[in-house]
Structure 1
Amino acid sequence: MEPIIVTNLRKLLMMSLDCQIRLEKIELIESELGLPPDFRYRLIPMYPEFFSVRKVNGVDYLCLETWDSSLAVTAREEKLDLGHAPIRTKEIPRDGNIMGPFAFRLKFPAGFRPNKHYLEEVVKWQKMEFPSPYLSGRSVQPATPQARKRAVAILHELLSLMMEKRLTSDKLDAFHNEYQLPCKLLLCLVKNHGIFYITNKGARSTVFLKEAYDGCNLIDKCPLLKFNDSFVALIGRACLDLNNAVAA
């Protein structure tokens, strides 16, 4: 499991504006990333070729030591099936999904019935090129349709790096500067409701990556989550056996 955690942490830094993030912000999402609580002292020193902790203006930052181009591939790109030529048709897909190198997997809410004009705009957006989330944000021209789509791709990749493919909106917003996230983050998420799902829980909202879920169930669980499930099931079975033994 550790190599996966290390890889995801490297990718998180690679996407950031200066390949460095305040350590306290990493600690904010350590559980979502699967990092141990003391990762600064146990994990980081084990990989000096990848990470270092430096003080910048008196603040501790986790910094990337080496760039690996092989990691600069998003989860969206990894799932692309470009081996087959897209079927050419004049019909507009009712679910907004098309094949292409810049398309996202869409899952519209149940009961949502978009009209033809809406779907035409969705398909147009799906085909639009945009810079990779792993391309330096300083080279991206801001306030353009391509930059806005790239912001969606960054949010998609951030959630993909989390163990449960979800994160509270306040934690997402904490990385506003590092990833040049939209000023109106919730509006961006709501607008792209085919990609993200937002649920309210008390005063906070949680953002889910829709394609990662089948209803309420996470489709592909990482090894750590699978281990946790097995452990919980084992403990539950042990408790049940103990209760049965006591009852007997």
Structure 2
Amino acid sequence: MSQRKRGPFVSVQLMSRWRNIVGLNVGMGEFLHKYPHVFELFVHPLRRNLCCKITQRMRDLIDEEEKIVKEYEPELLQKVKKLLMMSKNGTLHVHALRLIRRELGLPEDFRDSILRTHSKDFRLVDLEIVELVDRNESLAKAEVEKWREKEYVDKWLSEFETSYAFPINFPTGFKIEGGYREKLKSWQRLPYLKPYESKEVLRVCTCGGIERFEKRAVGIIHELLSLTVEKMLEVDRLAHFRKDFAIEINVCELLLKHPGIFYICTKGSTQTVFLREAYSKGCLALPNPIYVVRRKMLDLILLGHRNTRSLEDLEEIKEERNGSVFRTNVGGRRDGDWIVPILDSYDQNAFGSLGDINDSKQPFDGCESGRN
């Protein structure tokens, strides 16, 4: 009865064995004490040992995320389809999908709940290969192509300027070398094989040179990042798609070669690539429900020891549905009324049109870009 009332828990002594697995450089007990809004410590009534469980507030957010993921299953299904449509043979390694499962917003059991359940759309060739049964051409439009259409209509630009361009913005202090502006404009106009074009076209279009091949790789990575919840991925995990997407080049070098499109953040030994255009004032310019609930989780983590009185006495985290952003009056680092835990603010409107070089605020504070 006591265990059912308290819910799932684990002893801190057992959790200490996981210290090296999760990469902690402090003791497990010390780590758990840092986050009282996330972990609840208590003494087991029978065994008298120290145990840990998730707080009710965090559990509610976890349940909320699971509910949202279930509601958005049709959209998640389309994401997997689009990824398979970008691959050269219509197949992907399930292991690669598993590595970015959380980034895509897929459920933990996506192999069974999505791949196996939707047998009309996917075929499991073996345990580690998933194949697309039939292409859906209505999905074959990349996010950057939607941006191009808007540029073409809103700014009255020529089709020559917009057909193959990407939104460009450079960080503060970026040094523009002589002739770089003209090279960038030429690159913006360079035709390339778009992400959802068939593999037969690939052989023809990539014969024009390495620049077209690299631009195709930029387009695929741009689209892959656009499909993620937070428009970001660890570079090491991105590399697992190189063979399936036929971009067998040095991914990190390619990303650094285009600082106006991608931003690489280095924290410890992990490199994460962000899609620059997706962020405004330190948060997603167009938030989605999964992102919003994860920001709430991060808010609880950032509280640390602040406001450690009963959580029932705290003001509820408020949501603003016009933009689906959230505010709070407790803890956290701020940018105006926004919680900005990791990213600093930058001006979304500073993006140049089709290669114009602008000087805007640095969007990602506390990270190393790899190129200044």
Residue 239 of structure 1, CA deviation: 5.4
Whether 1:83 and 2:156 are equivalent positions in the alignment is: no
Please name the residue that 1:212 is paired with.
278
- CA distance in 1: counterparts of 2:263 and 2:281, whole angstroms: 11
- CA distance in 2: counterparts of 1:156 and 1:44, whole angstroms: 24
- Give the number of the structure whose alpha-carbon radius of gyration is greater: 2
- The one-character-per-residue Cα deviations of 1:156-194 (angstroms, maximum 9, x if unpaired) are 111111111110110011111011224221111101010
Residue 115 of structure 1, CA deviation: 4.3
Partner-residue secondary structure (3-state), 2:266: strand
The answer to whether the Cα contact below 8 Å between 1:137 and 1:180 also exists between their aligned partners in 2 is: no
Please name the residue that 2:129 is paired with.
61
Report % sequence identity: 32
In structure 1, which of residues 158, 181, 186 is the aligned counterpart of residue 247 of structure 2? 181
Partner-residue secondary structure (3-state), 1:83: helix
The answer to whether the Cα contact below 8 Å between 2:195 and 2:220 also exists between their aligned partners in 1 is: yes
- TM-score, length-normalised on structure 2? 0.57
- TM-score, length-normalised on structure 1? 0.83
Q: After alignment, is 20-29 or 137-146 more displaced?
A: 137-146
The answer to whether the Cα contact below 8 Å between 2:143 and 2:223 also exists between their aligned partners in 1 is: yes
180 and 215 in structure 1: CA distance in 2 versus 1, 3 angstrom threshold: farther
Please name the residue that 1:92 is paired with.
none
- The one-character-per-residue Cα deviations of 1:33-75 (angstroms, maximum 9, x if unpaired) are 11111111122233222112112xxx52111111011111101
Please name the residue that 1:7 is paired with.
78
In structure 1, which of residues 35, 39, 44 is the aligned counterpart of residue 115 of structure 2? 44
Partner-residue secondary structure (3-state), 1:178: coil
Residue 10 of structure 1, CA deviation: 0.5
113 and 65 in structure 1: CA distance in 2 versus 1, 3 angstrom threshold: same
Residue 86 of structure 1, CA deviation: 1.6
Q: After alignment, is 68-77 or 180-189 more displaced?
A: 180-189
Residue 207 of structure 1, CA deviation: 0.6
Whether 1:198 and 2:264 are equivalent positions in the alignment is: yes
Residue 116 of structure 1, CA deviation: 5.3
Could you say what the CA RMSD is over the residues aligned between the two structures, in angstroms?
Answer: 2.7
Residue 144 of structure 1, CA deviation: 3.0
- CA distance in 2: counterparts of 1:227 and 1:239, whole angstroms: 21
Amino acid at match of 2:80: L
**Structure 2 counterparts to residues 121-132 of structure 1, below 5 A:** 121-132=183-194
The answer to whether the Cα contact below 8 Å between 2:191 and 2:212 also exists between their aligned partners in 1 is: yes
Q: Which consecutive residues of structure 2, in runs of 5 or more, have no partner in the other structure? A: 1-71, 316-372
- The one-character-per-residue Cα deviations of 1:71-93 (angstroms, maximum 9, x if unpaired) are 11101011222225328xxxxxx
Amino acid at match of 1:72: A
231 and 239 in structure 1: CA distance in 2 versus 1, 3 angstrom threshold: farther
Paired residues, number = 231
